[in-house]
Chains A and B, each alone.
Chain A
Amino acid sequence: MKSQPQKLPQIASPKASDPASTNDIRVRHLTWMILARALDDRMCKLKAQNLVPGSVFTGRGQEAYSAAGGMCLRPGDVFAPLIRDQAGRLAFGETIIDVVRTCMGKRTSSMRGRDGNIHRGNLDIGLLPMISHLGAMVSVVAGMLMARRFKGQLVGNDLTVGMASIGDGGMNAGALHEALNLAAVEKLPFVLLVANNQVAYSTFNDRTFACRDLVDRAVGYGVCGHSCDGTDATACLTTVSDAVARVRRGEGPQMVVATLLRLAGHGLHDPAEYVTPELKSRFGDCIQLDSNTLKVQGILTDADIERIWDDARTRIAAAVEQAMHEPDPDPAQEDWTAYSERDLKKVRS
């Protein structure tokens, strides 16, 4: 059930009002990648300044793949990102200011300081706030899609899409297995983006799975499998958009496996000394690679790329400046209840 990537199709980005040309899409793709990288870098600096509680988890090295996922989704779709999906989150519609606020634990953030960093989300736009337990978000996406089916909204050949991310580590969680099988049984319009970044925290592929390639599992679940080089931006766009297009047409769940390398530790606290120079030498940086390709092909100049970086840093600096002056949560003002029903004695059918 493996498919060959087709030629680059049109991608409807949330930000695009008109069908964009292939080159425009590739430039926008790089722009999301750079924005995500610059934002991750700035969060690391804020951590060094002791302005961020907890750790910082970056998507370094996974931007091309993640951004492709976010760009292939539309308003109304559902996206359950994971740890290394800064790029995909932004491309799907997350705002820079909410990233900064949430990492700083601000009262103004979507999680109001009650949760932070990568656990942020915005249910109003279908961006699910992940819990830390790997695989747990997949069945929730399935449930949202089933709800839409109950409501008669999953009809036609241009379906709403649910997308979830997972890694080579999370692929071995029981929750992932249950949920992917269930999504296949229900023939849901679902895409699983698997990022094989070679290492689950510090444990390499040879100690996490025994199959030849994670994409081989697709046929076992009854879903269509796709593979791509996660460091190749164009391959990511082509493969992910093909998988999403199949889902929209009603072909059922798709699984994409991208091969890449996590270019950082698990979190900022982790120097990742276990990643050998030899392993590093086998993988490039998707942003450097794509920048070079776009230059060689005459699509962007050095100055253009520098402008994209400058613009990203300027926007992030403005968000940081704004968030710095916003209030922290106040324990004295906090509404300390985990229940939405204020008085259970008043609940009545």
Chain B
Amino acid sequence: MTLAYLEAIRLALGESLDEDPRVFVYGQDVAGAFGGAFKVTKGIAERYKDRVLNAPISEDAMAGVAIGAALEGMRPVLEYQFADFATIAFNQFVNHAGTMFWRTGRSCPIVARLPVGGTPGGGPFHSQMPETWLSNHPGLVVVAPATVADAYFMLKDAIACQDPVMYCEHKYLYYHLKAEFDKTRAEHLPLGSAAVRRPGDDCTLISYSGMVHECLRAAEILDRDHGIDCEVIDLRCIRPLDTETILTSVCRTGRVVVATESWPFGGVAAEVLALVSSEAFSHLDAPPRRLCALDVPVPFHPDLFAAHHPDAERIAEAVLETMAF
């Protein structure tokens, strides 16, 4: 059947509630017929009135509740209405959930669903990519599914994971990304692995979340117009990072461009470039490149917003420059 990215999340959530009485969903406006700001829990919430609960607008306390419930053996899944609001929960995530195993030897299996990424008109506070600041802290698993199958399998695996998982779901993909999906036949990749979405020999293009699709489009343009064969890697899991897949590809192609929707300073792209520079230096035929969002808050106007983050055309230009080096 054809499934939208959001429907895959809903399917995984509903099945998790079906299969595991330890799972509960907690967040703003998730309960009842309303089913959440983006309707992820619509239909599920009515089936599980006692396990899909509305929270007050208390993003910090929600995270604390999840941590406490996890310590008591539950499997809480938090829905943050926008990832931007999870800044309020930053303390509980990084200082409490992220330190729990190290400090006490007890696991803290919580899942925070974070609707990330920009959409035109979203503006500075409904568009952010939180994976950079979340990944900097040890103890948190940070994942960012880019496909319908990953949206489904990675949420189910996140709920099975013993560690706190920050599940970054891209809002633009919610309804724009649709695919044929049969869970019995779809590829179930391991939670911590990167995926090669398009094999190629000339240049490695690395990204995650919504930007994977821009990279795939860039690879098509480069192939069609310039005969350049790009390998596209979807990181899938930001933390921990699948360094093996990255290095294997870059060592083979000798060229790498990393594209992210998030800001450049100290970001995931910087981390990947640091890895490549230190571990694959002798294999590089050109300086590693990164394309990130412009280093200002996410703009409101659609024209400004479109110019703010990399797109397929700009990624293709960067690859051409890298190939010409």
Inter-chain contact B163/A339, CB cutoff 8 Å: yes
A182 to B58, CA, bound (A): 8
Whether A217 is near chain B, meaning CB under 8 Å from some CB there, is: no
Given contacts A136-B95, A344-B190, A345-B191, contact A119 B103 (CB under 8 A): yes
Inter-chain contact B91/A343, CB cutoff 8 Å: no
Inter-chain contact A178/B74, CB cutoff 8 Å: no
Q: Mark B21-61, 1 if CB is under 8 A from A, else 0.
A: 00010000000000000000000000000110001101111
B77 CB → nearest A CB, Å? 13
A78 CB → nearest B CB, Å? 8
Inter-chain contact B68/A340, CB cutoff 8 Å: no
Given contacts A142-B64, A339-B240, contact A111 B104 (CB under 8 A): yes
Inter-chain contact B103/A147, CB cutoff 8 Å: no
B residues 178-203 with Cβ under 8 Å of A? 188, 190-193
Given contacts A121-B104, A339-B101, contact A140 B192 (CB under 8 A): no
B275 CB → nearest A CB, Å? 17
Whether A296 is near chain B, meaning CB under 8 Å from some CB there, is: no
B274 CB → nearest A CB, Å? 20
Inter-chain contact A179/B101, CB cutoff 8 Å: no
- B91's closest neighbor in chain A, by CB? A133
- A349's closest neighbor in chain B, by CB? B156
A123 to B101, CA, bound (A): 12
A147 to B139, CA, bound (A): 23
Looking at B64, B71, B88, which has the most chain A CB atoms within 10 Å of its CB? B64
Given contacts A143-B64, A341-B162, contact A347 B191 (CB under 8 A): yes
Partner of B69, one of A147, A337, A341: A147
A344 to B240, CA, bound (A): 8
Given contacts A144-B68, A340-B162, contact A175 B74 (CB under 8 A): no
Residues of B within 8 Å of A169, CB to CB, are none
A142 to B74, CA, bound (A): 13
Inter-chain contact B66/A143, CB cutoff 8 Å: yes
Q: Mark B106-144, 1 if CB is under 8 A from A, else 0.
A: 110000000000000000000000000000001101000
Whether B285 is near chain A, meaning CB under 8 Å from some CB there, is: no
Whether A174 is near chain B, meaning CB under 8 Å from some CB there, is: yes
Whether A99 is near chain B, meaning CB under 8 Å from some CB there, is: no
Q: Mark A116-149, 1 if CB is under 8 A from B, else 0.
A: 0001010100000101110011111111111110
A178 CB → nearest B CB, Å? 4
Inter-chain contact A140/B71, CB cutoff 8 Å: yes
- B55's closest neighbor in chain A, by CB? A182
A176 CB → nearest B CB, Å? 9
Whether B237 is near chain A, meaning CB under 8 Å from some CB there, is: yes
Inter-chain contact B192/A345, CB cutoff 8 Å: yes
Inter-chain contact A144/B71, CB cutoff 8 Å: yes
Inter-chain contact B104/A147, CB cutoff 8 Å: no
Looking at A115, A174, A344, A345, which has the most chain B CB atoms within 10 Å of its CB? A344
Looking at B24, B50, B60, B191, which has the most chain A CB atoms within 10 Å of its CB? B60
Inter-chain contact A147/B191, CB cutoff 8 Å: no
Whether A299 is near chain B, meaning CB under 8 Å from some CB there, is: no
Inter-chain contact A175/B102, CB cutoff 8 Å: no
A110 to B104, CA, bound (A): 7
Given contacts A123-B104, A341-B163, A344-B237, contact A136 B96 (CB under 8 A): yes
Given contacts A340-B163, A341-B162, A344-B190, contact A179 B103 (CB under 8 A): no
A253 CB → nearest B CB, Å? 13
A residues 179-238 with Cβ under 8 Å of B? 179, 181-182, 185
Whether A114 is near chain B, meaning CB under 8 Å from some CB there, is: yes
A310 to B63, CA, bound (A): 45
Whether B286 is near chain A, meaning CB under 8 Å from some CB there, is: no
Inter-chain contact A111/B103, CB cutoff 8 Å: yes
A-binding residues in B (CB < 8 A): 16, 24, 50-51, 55-56, 58-74, 76, 88, 91-92, 95-96, 98-99, 101-107, 138-139, 141, 153, 156-157, 159-163, 188, 190-193, 237, 240
The 10 A-B pairs with the shortest beta carbon distances in the complex, nearest first, are A143-B68, A139-B64, A344-B192, A147-B72, A178-B58, A349-B156, A143-B65, A178-B61, A338-B138, A338-B139
20 A-B contacts, Cβ less than 8 Å apart?
Answer: A110-B104, A114-B102, A131-B96, A133-B95, A136-B60, A138-B64, A139-B63, A140-B65, A144-B69, A144-B71, A145-B68, A147-B71, A147-B74, A175-B92, A337-B102, A338-B99, A338-B138, A339-B101, A345-B192, A347-B162
Given contacts A140-B67, A144-B69, A341-B141, 7 further A-B contacts (CB under 8 A): A136-B96, A137-B64, A140-B64, A338-B99, A339-B240, A347-B160, A347-B191
